[in-house]
Amino acid sequence: SAVGRIVSTSSVVIQGPPGPPGGLQVVTIHRKAVTLQWTDGAHHGSPIHSYIVSGRTNWNNTWVNISGNFRVTEIDRYTGRKEAVIENTLIPWSIYEFRVAAWNDLGMGPPSAPSPRQATPPDRPFTPPRNIGGGG
């Protein structure tokens, strides 16, 4: 302009579902339970309020939600590392991979990369064998 300079500024705030969690590790695995640790992905403008754990086995390659209501503990406040124990959902004699996805008010984010494969230990059968007969 003839009098001076015109200056304009603006800011863009991007909000969306959280980014994928990272560094997913299986800490311990038992016959029916697993302890997982991970670090949150980007929050994208809204705090994370819940997580979903999905898993797949050597018996079925399809990802299945194995837990959606569990307690998450922050184990390192400097890195934000999280830990959760998922109980009574695994099957003995199986090899598992796990993924974690986070929810915020804007939706569910993409899942983490799969964890390394881990085997559940053997256990006795849940039901007695059926259809067993003699050889005669």
CB 71 within 8 A of CB 133: no
- Average pLDDT, whole number, for the chain? 91
Q: Taking the mean position of all CA atoms in its chain, how far away is CA 134?
A: 47
Indicate the pLDDT class of residue 10, thresholds 50, 70 and 90.
confident
The pLDDT tens digits of the residues spanning 73-83 come to 999 999 989 99
Q: What's the rounded Cα separation, in Å, for the pair 78 and 26?
A: 21
The pLDDT tens digits of the residues spanning 122-134 come to 988 777 777 777 7
Is 57 a member of any domain? yes
Is 81 a member of any domain? yes
Q: pLDDT value at position 125? A: 75
Is 127 a member of any domain? no
Average pLDDT, stretch 27-51?
A: 94
CB 45 within 8 A of CB 18: no
3-class secondary structure per residue, the chain: CCCCCCCCCCCCCCCCCCCCCEEEEEEEECCCCEEEEEECCCCCCCCCCEEEEEEEECCCCCCEEEECCCCEEEEECCCCEEEEEECCCCCCCCEEEEEEEEEECCEECCCCCCCCCEECCCCCCCCCCCCCCCCC
Position 31 pLDDT exceeds 90: yes
Is 76 a member of any domain? yes
Is 132 a member of any domain? no
Is 13 a member of any domain? no
**Other C-beta atoms lying within 10 Å of the C-beta of residue 128:** 6
Instruction: Kindly report the CATH number assigned to the domain that includes residue 87.
Output: 2.60.40.10
Average pLDDT, stretch 31-58?
A: 95
Indicate the pLDDT class of residue 99, thresholds 50, 70 and 90.
very high
Its domain, for residue 111, covers 22-119
Position 32 pLDDT exceeds 80: yes
Q: What's the rounded Cα separation, in Å, for the pair 42 and 50?
A: 14
Is 16 a member of any domain? no
Is 131 a member of any domain? no
Give me the number of domains the chain comprises: 1
